[in-house]
A and B are shown apart, each in its own frame.
Chain A
Amino acid sequence: MRTRTLMTLPAVLTAASLMLAACGSGEEDGASAAEAPAADSATLTDPWAKAAEEGMTSAFGLVENTGEEEITLAAVESPVSDHVELHTTNEDGSGGMSMEEQEGGFPIAPGETLTLEPGAEHIMLMDLAEPLEHGTTTELTLVFSDDSTLEVTADVRDFAGAQENYGGMEDEDYAGHGETAGDHDSGEGDAHAEHSDE
């Protein structure tokens, strides 16, 4: 995948980010590892987005922190959506899973990989300005907490999963089956037993 990093100066800077940006620009060359832009130590592998005619859709990929310091994926920008959220999936307390926005973004420890995938952490693109069609590409800009950015080209693919409510759990027939969706570690035997009752 094509990836490239670049620093951006947002039009409106908060005091905190201004300090960070200033710090970064003051030591462009020979900056220590600790002060290097987060985007420089981030890679996004296999970025892809679910095709959608309109409304919302989601995007995925593997974000690896190749650096020595923790980085935080704070936001994502897209030319086809003015409203992009980072989502996580949690147990909703009644056996199902629900999505909610991840406050403060996703921290990624050095050497770790954040897996953005259907049924788990993912990028949500709201109110699409234009359709995303299978076989095309769309740009994503990953914004880190120090305002450094990583631009990637994501492939758009038809995908039946990644429904707004994972696994059709609004359906009464599926009540109680929720934890099989997006939960790789739960007892497989139980999951199979439940499915065999259907």
Chain B
Amino acid sequence: MSDLTRRRMLLSGAFAGAGGLVLAGCSAGEGRGGSASTSADLSPEEVLAHAPVGTETVPFHGRHQAGITTTPQAFASLIALDLNDDTGREEIRRLLRVLSDDAARLTQGRGALADTEPELASAPARLTVTLGFGPELVRRVAGAEAVPGWLRPLPAFDIDELREEWSGGDLLLQIAADDRVTVAHAARVLVKSSRTWTSVRWRQPGFRRARGSEAPGTTMRNLFGQVDGTVNLRPGDEDFDAQVWAADGWMAGGTSFVLRRIRMDLDEWDRVDRSARDSALGRRQSDGAPLTGEDEHDEPDFAALGPHGFPVIPEFSHIARARGEDPRPTMLRRAYNYEDEAAGEAGLLFIAFQADVDTGFVPVQRRLDELDILNQWTTPVGSAVFALPPGCEEGRFVGETLFV
């Protein structure tokens, strides 16, 4: 279905139904000759022209969950839920059914069932809802043998100062859209739908540039000003599927999710001059190009020596340490900035997807832990690993493969 067609369908449902139930508006306004419920005198085409960001949708159903290869939306809310002690297999099935049903509706611009504010769903703005499972959820549904080997807390790293309130969890909701109100509404609906069986463990909101602020495909910048995420798997890469998607069992078509909440000391970073910043990263802050290159995506030359015989890209720099013997990327990075204004804290919600945490993420983190000059200004304060099951077809629910 073309983008425009999808948007038209959305418009006929969501925008025509002003003030009332979306579907009521749809049936009264579409094909029945006129509707008194259309609020503004705008044609669907005109609404599209005025609201190109709000009207765009991402399909919920498919082989893989949405929100993984989806071009990152401007806003995300990561929410970890803990299962109640008495939430068992059957309750988890119901929970996942409800969440999948809510997500299928909300992402297409419709209110959820029993939604008291369906009007807030009317601008989906590429909303995606991605579900992830902690080891306890998998165990309760399918037993310990169903838990992938990598689904456990990451090994302890020396640089970590992890805090419980930002770590772990039984069920992850990754909610992302290009509109902050849309994210808030979806989060409200999904948490409400879950509270019979769960409690909220943590919530971590993240943000990027607003949609349309810069050219599509621009690599994000973190709050240190650095171009962040240049070395990344991209859909279409030769080894993308093998590196990102799990191949076996209930996880086939799924992936893993690693979250590292990395606190960034902006005040100390202020003291670092531009040349030292560039050396610490191994890339220029100005354009993200490696110190040996001209463009962001130029291959760094780690053998190049400067006038004094030292490597142009220092061995202690972030990109020198992050690089393995095989320079090809092993994870799909999809980070968000965060600000905790009340706590006076800012940083990066580093998010990475990979078929296997132990081979995709851990080796890189280990090299960075051993020696990365950036560690002087950055501290991991939260950490979580989740298994993201495959997507589902219409009428099914995410995680159903775990119940077979």
Residues of A within 8 A of B (CB): 45-46, 48, 50, 62, 64, 111-113, 115, 117, 133-136, 155, 157-161, 184
Whether B114 and A117, one on each chain, are in contact in the complex, defined by CB atoms closer than 8 angstroms, is no
Once bound together, how far apart are the Cα atoms of A158 and B32, in whole Å?
Answer: 34
Distance in Å: Cβ of A132 to nearest Cβ of chain B? 12
Cβ-Cβ contact count across A and B, 8 Å cutoff? 50
Q: What residues of A have a CB within 8 angstroms of the CB of B19 in the complex?
A: 184
Whether A64 and B98, one on each chain, are in contact in the complex, defined by CB atoms closer than 8 angstroms, is no
Determine which of A112, A155, A160, A161 lies in contact with B113 in the assembled complex, contact meaning CB atoms within 8 Å: A155
Whether A135 and B27, one on each chain, are in contact in the complex, defined by CB atoms closer than 8 angstroms, is no
Once bound together, how far apart are the Cα atoms of A36 and B28, in whole Å?
Answer: 23
Determine which of A45, A46, A62, A157 lies in contact with B98 in the assembled complex, contact meaning CB atoms within 8 Å: A157
Whether A46 and B196, one on each chain, are in contact in the complex, defined by CB atoms closer than 8 angstroms, is no
Once bound together, how far apart are the Cα atoms of A89 and B94, in whole Å?
Answer: 32
Counting CB contacts under 8 A, is B374 at the interface? no
B21-35 interface mask toward A, CB cutoff 8 Å, 1 = contact, 0 = none?
A: 101100110001000
Counting CB contacts under 8 A, is B95 at the interface? yes
Q: What residues of B have a CB within 8 angstroms of the CB of A157 in the complex?
A: 98, 113-114, 193
Q: What residues of A have a CB within 8 angstroms of the CB of B209 in the complex?
A: none
Distance in Å: Cβ of A74 to nearest Cβ of chain B? 22
Whether B95 and A46, one on each chain, are in contact in the complex, defined by CB atoms closer than 8 angstroms, is no
Quick one: which of B65-103 are within 8 Å of A by CB? 91, 94-95, 97-98, 101
Residues of B within 8 A of A (CB): 19-21, 23-24, 27-28, 32, 91, 94-95, 97-98, 101, 113-114, 116, 192-193, 195-196
Pairs A–B under 8 Å by Cβ, sample size 7: A45-B23, A62-B23, A112-B28, A117-B21, A134-B193, A135-B97, A157-B114
Whether A46 and B94, one on each chain, are in contact in the complex, defined by CB atoms closer than 8 angstroms, is no
Whether B32 and A46, one on each chain, are in contact in the complex, defined by CB atoms closer than 8 angstroms, is no
Q: What residues of B have a CB within 8 angstroms of the CB of A48 in the complex?
A: 113-114
Whether B23 and A161, one on each chain, are in contact in the complex, defined by CB atoms closer than 8 angstroms, is no
Q: What residues of B have a CB within 8 angstroms of the CB of A46 in the complex?
A: 23, 113
Whether A115 and B24, one on each chain, are in contact in the complex, defined by CB atoms closer than 8 angstroms, is yes
Q: What residues of A have a CB within 8 angstroms of the CB of B113 in the complex?
A: 46, 48, 155, 157
Q: Contacts A155-B101, A161-B116, A184-B19 known; list 6 others, CB within 8 Å.
A: A113-B24, A133-B94, A135-B95, A157-B114, A158-B195, A160-B116
Given contacts A157-B113, A161-B116, contact A134 B94 (CB under 8 A): yes
